[in-house]
Amino acid sequence: MLAERGAILADAWRWWAETLSELDAASWRRETRLPGWDVAALSAHAALLVQGLGALSVQPLPLEPRVRSAQEMLRGFNAPGGIATTLAEGIAEMARRQAAAMSPAQLVSLFAVTGPAVIATVEACGPTVVEYFGNGTFPIVEVMSIAILEAVVHGLDLCAAIDTATDTIPPAAMHHTVELLESLAEPASFIEAATGRVSTAVLPVLH
């Protein structure tokens, strides 16, 4: 699973590198559908897990994971009072600061150069457990799952901002993201809503 997720994540980050490398100066300043973020800030935010996964990969812990799956971690983030809400402004400001401190070429390099090196390090270390930024011990392969989701969700934000077709995003990364998001919904409610049997809102499952 580690190698499979590594390949999917590598493709997703390669898409980011190739897409960003084609932007002109004006495109980096385009506003996105995320309030307060231009394309540079969006890209800086998307790159945070490139750097974050790199930092985690060299700090394995000889412990059992307290949180075992990406689904469980994301449910916790998005619960009432979870960090998806409480840290949203701080995360947005961090992205803006990083975008202001880095050139477009440096942001591209995070995806094009740092990304492959990080994935190679993760794969060399094997299926380790890490402390996930203060949110509990967590398998690094599940960190990769969240990184794929982040790359795709914000990749769609990027497509909307620069008028790029969404089908350019690697299909395997899209499929992985669909499966992960689907797993966050309550199964019976999701199935009934998806088949038109009820009109109860089951989405969004993630913020």
Residue (of 102, 100, 120) closest to 13 by Cα position: 120
| CATH architecture, range 2-194 | Up-down Bundle (1.20)
Res 173 pLDDT > 80: yes
> What is the pLDDT at residue 204?
82
> What is the pLDDT at residue 165?
96
Per-residue pLDDT tens for 46-57? 999 999 999 999
What is the number of other CB atoms lying within 10 angstroms of the CB of residue 120?
13
> What is the pLDDT at residue 81?
80
DSSP codes of every residue in 111-157: IIIIHHHHHHHHHHH-S-EEE-TTS-EEEHHHHHHHHHHHHHHHHHH
pTM for this model (two decimals): 0.94
Per-residue pLDDT tens for 14-64? 999 999 999 999 999 999 999 889 999 999 999 999 999 999 999 999 999
Residue (of 142, 141, 143, 167) closest to 155 by Cα position: 167
Q: Where are the domains of the chain?
A: 2-194
What is the rounded average pLDDT for all residues in the chain? Answer: 93
Strand, coil or helix: 24: coil
Whether the Cβ atoms of residue 9 and residue 149 lie closer than 8 Å to each other: no
